[in-house]
Amino acid sequence: MEYPTNDRNKVKRLPKRGHYDQETIFGILDDAFLCHVGFEIAGQPYVIPTAYGRDGEVLYLHGSSKSRMIQHLATGAPLCLTVTHLDGLVLARSAFHHSMNYRSAVIFGTATLVEGEEKMHALEVISEQILKGRWAEVRQPNPTEMKATSVLRITIEQASAKIRTGPPGDEAEDYALPIWAGVVPAELTFQDPLPDPAMDQAHELPASVKALARK
Interface positions, 119-178, toward its own copies (CB under 8 A): 123, 127, 130-131, 134-135, 137-142, 145, 148-149, 167-168, 170, 174-178
CA atoms of 121 and 151, how far apart (whole Å): 10
- Smallest distance from its own copies to CB 9, Å: 10
According to the binding rule CB under 8 A, does residue 205 interact with its own copies? yes
Interface positions, 53-82, toward its own copies (CB under 8 A): 63-64, 66-68, 78-82
According to the binding rule CB under 8 A, does residue 106 interact with its own copies? yes
- Smallest distance from its own copies to CB 1, Å: 22
- Please state, in angstroms and as integers, the Cα–Cα distance from residue 24 to each residue in 2, 103, 171, following that order: 10, 10, 30
Q: What is the CA radius of gyration of the chain?
A: 21
Query: In degrees rounded to 5, what are phi and psi of residue 93?
Result: -80, -25
Which SS3 state, helix, strand or coil, does residue 14 take?
A: coil
- Smallest distance from its own copies to CB 105, Å: 10
Among 21, 30, 46, 115, binds its own copies (CB under 8 A): 46
CA atoms of 146 and 209, how far apart (whole Å): 25
